Amino acid sequence: MPDVAALALQLGLSPGSGALRQSLTHSSYAAEHGGQSNERLEFLGDAVVSLAVADYIVGRYPLVNEGAASILRSRVVNEDSLAAVARLLCLGDLLLLGRGVVKERGHERSSLLADAFEAVVAAVYLESGYDAARDVVVQYLEPAIVAASRDDTLDPKARLKRWAENQGLGAPVYDVVASGPSHDTTFAATVRVGGVVARAEGPSKKRAEANAAVAAWEEMSDA
């Protein structure tokens, strides 16, 4: 049977962490027994989890544009994903719930579990700082992020290629020209697909091609 002290050690917190115990206290329990609930920690943890996932996405997927990054984050920072992590951590067994919520099997409810995970992340953030909280988020959500990233809608070149081939247009053709000094080179990419010609620049060949693919897609969408 899991206990709070074991969870604290797993998260790098002291066994007597007051913030962690508060993070596991539902408002229904606080109403019956007094003390502070985890609602404020859940509010803070929501922001920390979102930032940590965005931080990870930007660092790991440099070619993903803002729109695709937002989609990827939304596929991970949601009730189902966070509740799955909470179950992995056995937070349902540690949640302090009011009698009525216990009767309703609240410890199995995804919404309560997702909130509890966010509150736990906030506890780590408050007691150990952002880097430690980010490490916890990445440790438990990285598999979900990687799985979600395999959708080629997040890769503008793959998305354009698939669309072009489905339309019988063949693969897009890219042409890249580099200019400027070696320490500050700019790459200009041109992509041709189905009569559409789009151009974009980037700090690398891959980035320029990805930006050109986005430009081509936007031009076709506006046509």
Annotated active-site positions, please?
46, 118
Taking the C-alpha atoms of residue 18 and residue 48, their distance in angstroms, rounded to an integer, is: 19
Helical H runs in the chain? Answer: 4-10, 18-23, 27-33, 39-60, 66-76, 79-88, 91-94, 99-103, 110-128, 130-149, 156-166, 205-222
CA end-to-end distance (rounded Å), the chain = 61
Contact between 170 and 164 under an 8 Å Cβ cutoff? The reply is yes
Q: What tokens were used for 48?
A: 């920390």
Residues 176, 49: Cα–Cα separation, whole Å:
38
Q: Using the 8-state DSSP alphabet, how is residue 104 labeled?
A: T
Cβ contact 158:152 at 8 Å: yes
Q: How far apart are CA 73 and CA 210, in angstroms?
A: 20
Q: Is the dihedral of CA 52, 55, 59, 63 positive or negative?
A: positive
Token couple for 223? 């046509």
Cα–Cα distance measured from residue 198 to residue 202, given in angstroms and rounded to the nearest whole number = 14
